[in-house]
Every structure is written in structure tokens, then in C-alpha cells.
Structure 1
């Protein structure tokens, strides 16, 4: 009897071990499935990118206040969050306004309200205590990853703030004048200051600087699992540096690289995406009556021959510079705002949302002081939600390295009406817009059965059919 009991006990224990082993294996598999795979070309095809201004995003201006809203960004189709600089800001030569530094202000209480430029960095491997701790930042990254969203950091490789330890420990890293004095960044064509007096210009003729800067960038990938960088004034730093650092970082993990530039040479090996600055300025000019739909068509033909097939650009109606220095979307684009927002989602490339844009931001955010974006969902949020869903799900709007085709469609009012077709994998999207402030009648060389995506209505396009669009009216048509 005792022998039988021992046998039964052994069988029970073996079964329990097998059950535990199976449970552990299932848990391991679940963890692998839940972790976010490294960023890849397919993600870029259908992504919306969000620029997070931590300081101005909330009344608190903290990582935590932004992190709690990350799940909502999925509703807008966001797949990449670009976080503006999170590092400590130098006090020396700190900007108070465009022309004055804090040293020019005598009242100590008045000085306190000037927080300086995000881009005057005192320490590349620390976080600004005003935003929280490194642990708080890690929670931001982890929350984004849990929601299927990648995080890239704004990186300022061209210059540092005047409090950075390199100023005293490695003055040889910096550009110096004939007297051996470190200088702020200079215009290479004129030799005159850009006016960025709150920062000191780094000198990439010194290869020791390259190693130091690479180490700082690797820190965030290796210790905080970030997914890439947005490179401030990327063209002012040697392309070879960017190519080297990307190659070294990708020994750890694949990364997404965004250049604040439209220089096509940067895309060869270093960067995935650049800024569509020229396209943005043309949009502003059309909205203000200075250019026409025909100018946009000419621009699309130009970039088709300028860039390689796998190069792509970030499309935007606003960003932190445009908002603070050149005006809100409404100031620059007026009644054309929604039309050009829709255009940024439907042309090749990746659309950008800047903090507050989704909440109908109608003010210029202060650049050197604390400010706060609105948080009431108004007209723009549901529009972005629909556009983001279409961008994420419709192959005809893929805009990365394997983008859907773009074909201009002829119409009878080409100075006023913009019309084009995107196609891929059997999907088709047609965009039609009146790019003037007056009603326009026209005929379009397209026919078939479609759905008006924004309204959900069925629409039949007939050959030689005359149509009339109101001022700035647009349609996004998808094939049934």
C-alpha cells in the first residue's frame, strides 16, 4: 500500500511539473507577443507621427501628464511619438525673448519665468527635472510600446548650451574664433551669427567629438530602449557622422531617423525621412492666394525627379517652430486649414501632428516660457481620427519606402483644382480640392463608383460630368 501511495504521489508531482512548465512557456510566449517589435519599413508606410512638447502639453508640464494620454493617440493613428528635447537647459546665456537673455533682466522673480530654449542642452544624458525623472521618462517609453507606438528623441548634435561640461573640460570640441573664444553657430555663407546666442557651436573637425556624441546617443537606446532620433538642423552636422552613428546604433536595434532637412544626400544611409519644408511653404502660399494648384502639381513633379524612390518626407501644416514663430494654422491658412490638413495625409510621406493641433490650437505657444495647450476635443480631433484611420488602413495611402503610386488627374481648371490618384494592392484613393477662396466649376478625367470617405456617401463620377466645389472644398474618394 505504501508503495502504491509513493507511485501515485510521483505521478501527481510529474503532472504538476508538466502543468507548471506549460504555464511558464505560455507566459514566455505571451511576453514575446506583447513586446513591440523593432521599427521597420512597413510601420513607416502607414504611420502618423506626433510631436510631443512636454513643457506645454499640460498645466503640469511633466512626463506623467503626457504619458496618461498616450492611449488616446492611438485613436489618431499615431505610430511614432517624437519627443522634443527632454534634457536640462543651460542657464548661462539663457534666452528670455528672441533678443534678450536672462542676464539682461534684473528682477530675480521675473527671471524665473523664463525657462530657456529646449535646444540649449546642458547635459545629453540627463532629463530636465521640471519634466520628471528618468524613471518617469522610461514609463512614457514603456506605455508607448505597450500601445504599439514607437518613441524617438529630439537630438541636438550641432551645438550645446553654455553650461555643458564640455565647455570647460573639452573646449577643443567647439568652434573658436581667432582669439580662441568659443562662438555661437555662424552662417557659413556670411560668417555672421544666426542669433542663437544661447548655444555654443560644436566643431566636427575634431573626431574625438564624434566618439563623445555617439556615446551620448547610444545611452538612450541602450538604457531607455528608444526607437530613434529626430536630428535638429541635421544638415549642419557632417553626413558621415550620422551614417556612422546609425550603423553603430543598429548593432543594438533598428532605429527610425528623422532629419530636420530635405537634403536628399542625408537619405542615402543615415535618415529614413526628412522635412517637407518646400511643400509646407507652397501650402501656405496657396492658402494666402500667392500660388495655385498648378504650382503644387509642378512641385510634385519636381520631387519625383529629385529624390530616390525610397526617400520620403514628413508632411505638416504646423510644428513647434511654425507655431511659435510664424503663426497658428489659422493665421497662416485661414479657411483652407482643413483642406491642407487632409492633403498632408493623402500625399506620399508621413503626416505630422504637433501638440495641441488635435485640440484646435489657435494660439502661438510661448517658446521660452511655460504655456499650455487646450485639451477640449473640438472640430479637428474627429477629422484627424478619420484621416488617421484611412492612413493606417488603406494601402493606397502608403507613403514610406515602398509608397503607393501618385498620379495627377487632369481637370478643366488646373490653376484652381488639385486632383490626383493614389493606388496600391488593389486599393485606390482620389483626392480632389478647390484650392481657392471662391466656388469653381470643373470637369475631371475620372469615372467610376466611389465612396466619399469623409461623409460616407456613395458617389458616381461620370465622364465629362461638370461639378462645382465651394471655396476650399475637398473630397477623398475610395474605390468600392
Structure 2
């Protein structure tokens, strides 16, 4: 009888161990003592979107980890990792499939390396004072996800009971995201499982928050519950791929500045002008709360792959708008390769790589990052510096504004047109040209003679 009891206990112990191994293998790195993300840190942060597959020839966690100290030199305080999870092969697009067609929310894609490699990435980032957020895809899964077979009720189904891909609510037609299956948020068991999987990465792998894909397609009350449950573990940073003010009330810290981004594209293409930008900023004052944060960008993975490189969309205005994303209220984004003057559309479903040769933009981002990190006049978080439009003699083509906080003052002046201009700006004082170091004494009558897309960043003395 004793033998039977011992064998039974051994079998039970073995099965229990196998269950524990399901979510992770090995032991996590000791948690680095990095203070939790805070509102104060977000004021001065630059965010970097890391495309692991395309960042290097190897397309691995380890190759990216080697360069994390370089990102610190660019002023980066938050790394956003595009999805790192295993990719579905059923109904996949291309030879490698989409990062956003996930088979398991609690494992890493072997294409990128092992869980141990991922842990080294997190530890290296934390050792360099950088926070890491994961790309979370709550709207849909890949067709190989275990829920498809085991819990079909977790998914949206048609009248015949077939699981469907996501539908455009405005047209009632498919978005053509045929490689993924739409999740059903009327199912509260699915919601609970989703939150458990989100908590896993924070509790076990020490990540610092999430960038949430198509956040506007998922119910607001889910995000609010999820954010509450995540913040039970520790403070986290939440970024919504959306432009939906109600998401910022309780769930998210920051949202995309999609409208502002498209407006910059249109100004660069001569379709809009500075008057349109002014109207956009006034509208934001009425729609948003004072502590709402925008993520400002000239490119990201979607824009680059589907709508063109920053140089295709913005042409000679690319540098000006890069500088402007740092100067306006909010947090600036660098997408993988932008620091290396990337002028190619990265393949989305295939292996590609960026050319890591420093050109004009690397030293530009270094200087802009230093200013963003160290000058309170560019604070862009929940206690952002003020933004005041300055009158010019040509308000249709010249954008001039001043930002101030706690005695720091920065003036941004730019010719947002494709023609040379002579103009004046209604401001005065002693400044330093931040990009050149030249001392400048200016007043309302000071004449400016700018080439197309020329800009000036003045730091108050």
C-alpha cells in the first residue's frame, strides 16, 4: 500500500511540474531595482518602437539587446516592443506571418530567441534606466490559438456558428484581416483569461506596461478593468493605439496623435497649412483634459510599411517635423531605423532589415533627446509645459510657439512651406540657438529669412 501511495504522489508531482512549465521554462533573471514608471518620468520621455524581426540581420532579442545602451544616448526612456509572441501559421500572410496573429499570449516567438534571451533584454533595459512595454493584441488572435478549438465561444461567430475575422463596424464588412479571429467581449470568461495573461508578463517577467493594438475596437470598460488589475501589481504605463478621449480617463496614460500625424503629412504635401495646425491645437484644448498625453510621430510600423517612408510622405520636411514632434506637447516616438535615415518600406510578413549607418538623423535625435530629457519647457506628460502660439507676419506658412515651465523657456519657429520666406515673430528676449550654440538677441522686429522647411529652436537664457 505504501508503494502505491509513493508512486501516486510521484506521478502527481510530475504532472504538476509539467503544468508549471507550460507558461515558462527556467528561472527569471533577478528583478532589477528600477523605480516603477511614474508621471515624472513620462514628462521627459522619448519612446522607441522596436521591430525585433527587422532591427538586425539576426532578427533576434540578443541583437537588439546589444544596442540598448545606444538608445539611452538618444534620450529613450521607454522601449515599445512590437509583438514578441508565437505567430499563427493557419491563414497566415507571407512566409513568416504577422506579429499580430498570436498563438499564445504567454510565450515568446522562437524566431526571436528564447525566454532567457527576452529576460536579458528586459534586464539590460532596466539597467540602463529604460522601461519596456509590450505590444498587446486584445482584439483578435491567430487561428492557431488554443482558444479556437477549446473555447470557440470566446470568439465572434456568424449565424452559422463560424468564427469570423474582425469586422469594420461602420461598413459591416471585413477589414481583410483574414489571418486573425475576432474575439467576443460579451464573454466575461474570455475577458478574465485575457487579463490573467496580461498580468503574467508584469508579475513574472517584470515588464512595465503595454501598447494596446487597435484599442478603440475593444470595449472601454474592459481596458479600465484590465488597467486596475495590472496596477495592483505595480505602476504601469499604458499606451492606446487610438484617438479616443474616454480611454484616457481611467485606463490609458497616452494615445496616438493620429490626426496630428496625418495633418503633418498633408502640410508637407502642400494640402494643408499652419492655419490648419492651429485649428487642430485649439480643438485639442476643448476635447482633452490637461493631463492627457499624445504620442507624436513621423513614422511607425504601419505608416512605414503601408503608407510609405517618412521621406516619401514628408519629403524635405522630414527633419523639420521630426524636431517638431519633440517641441510640441506630448511624447516623441522613434521607429526602428529612423535614427539611421531609413529610406525603405520594411516588409511586414517577410524578413527584412534596416541599414544601421549613421547619417543626418542620428546626431539630430541625440540633440533633441538631450533637450527633451533635460529642459522642463519640453515637459509633455500629465503636467506638461505651457504651449502658446506666437503671432508672425505670415501665420499661414510660419509656425511659431513658445513653451514654458518652472523658468525654462523654448521657442520653436518653422517655415512650414516649400518656398523661401521673410517674416517676423512677435517675441523678444535673449536666447541660444540650440542646434548651433549661437547667442541671439531678438525682438518683435527681428527679420527672419528662412529657406523652405527651415526651423529654429531657441532656448531661453
Smaller-chain TM-score bracket: over 0.9
| Aligned equivalent of 1:79, options 64, 77, 80 | 77
Q: 2:277 aligned with 1:296, yes or no?
A: yes
Which residue does 2:409 correspond to in 1?
Answer: 428
The question of 1:372 aligning with 2:353 is answered yes
* CA offsets 1:323-369 (integer angstroms, 9 cap, x no match): 00000010000100000000000000000000000011000000000
Deviations 1:297-323 (A, max 9, x none): 111111111100100100000000000
**Counterpart selection for 1:39 from 26, 37, 40:** 37
Q: CA deviation at 1:246?
A: 1.0
Which range is displaced more, 288-297 or 383-392?
A: 288-297
Q: CA offsets, 1:384-428, max 9 Å, x none?
A: 000000000000000000000000000010011000000000000
Counterpart mapping for 1:44-55 below 5 A? 44-55=42-53
The separation in 2 between residues aligned to 1:465 and 1:237, in whole angstroms, is: 52
The match for 1:111 is none
**SS at structure 2 position matched to 1:153:** strand
Where in structure 1 are there 5+ consecutive unaligned residues? 1-30, 97-113
Say whether 1:413 aligns with 2:411.
no
Q: Residue 364 of structure 2 aligns with which residue?
A: 383
1:468 to 449, 457, 460: 449
Q: Which residue of 1 aligns with 2:125?
A: 144
Deviations 1:90-135 (A, max 9, x none): 0000012xxxxxxxxxxxxxxxxx1000000011111110100111
Farther-moved stretch of structure 1 (241-250 vs 349-358): 241-250
Matched residue, 2:430: 449
Residue 198 (str. 1) matches residue 179 (str. 2): yes
Q: Which of 246, 258, 283 lines up with 1:265 in the alignment? A: 246
- Deviation (angstroms), 1:159: 0.1
Residue correspondence of structure 1 range 12-411 to structure 2 within 5 A = 35-96=33-94, 114-411=95-392
Distance in structure 1 (CA, Å) of the matches to 2:446 and 2:78: 42
Determine helix, strand or coil for the equivalent of 2:181.
strand
* Whole-Å separation in 2 of the counterparts to 1:81 and 1:474: 28
- 1-side partners of 2:130 and 2:209: how far apart? 12
What secondary structure is seen at the aligned counterpart in 2 of 1:290? coil
Aligned equivalents of 1:463 and 1:217: distance in 2?
A: 54
Distance in 1, matches of 2:337 and 2:72, equals 16
Q: Displacement, 1:465?
A: 2.3
Structure 1 or 2, whichever has the larger Rg, is: 1
Q: CA deviation at 1:464?
A: 1.8
Point out where structure 2 has 5 or more consecutive residues left out of the alignment: 1-29
How far did 1:463 drift?
A: 2.8
Separation in 1, partners of 2:351, 2:438: 45
SS in structure 1 opposite 2:311? helix
C-alpha offsets along residues 65-113 of structure 1, whole Å, 9 cap, x if unaligned?
00010001011000000000000000000012xxxxxxxxxxxxxxxxx
Name the stretch that deviates more: 169-178 or 465-474. 465-474
Query: Deviation at 1:172?
Result: 0.2
CA distance in 1 between counterparts of 2:274 and 2:172 reads: 38
Root-mean-square deviation (CA, aligned residues, Å) is 1.0
Q: CA deviation at 1:459?
A: 1.1
Alpha-carbon distance between aligned partners in 2 of 1:410 and 1:182, rounded to the nearest angstrom: 56
Which 4+ residue blocks in structure 1 deviate beyond 3 angstroms? none
Measure, in 1, the Cα distance between the counterparts of 2:242 and 2:403.
Answer: 25
Q: Distance in 2 between matches of 1:467 and 1:131?
A: 51
Render the CA deviation track for 1:271-311: whole Å, top value 9, x for unaligned: 00000000000000000000111111111111111100100
CA-to-aligned-CA distance 1:201-260 (integer Å, 9 cap, x gap): 000001111111011101101110000000000011111111111111111110000000
Number of aligned residue pairs: 432
Mapped partners of 1:135, 1:61: distance in 2: 16
Partner of 2:204, secondary structure, is helix
User: What is the DSSP-based 3-state SS (H/G/I as helix, E as strand, rest coil) of the residue aligned with 2:367?
Assistant: helix
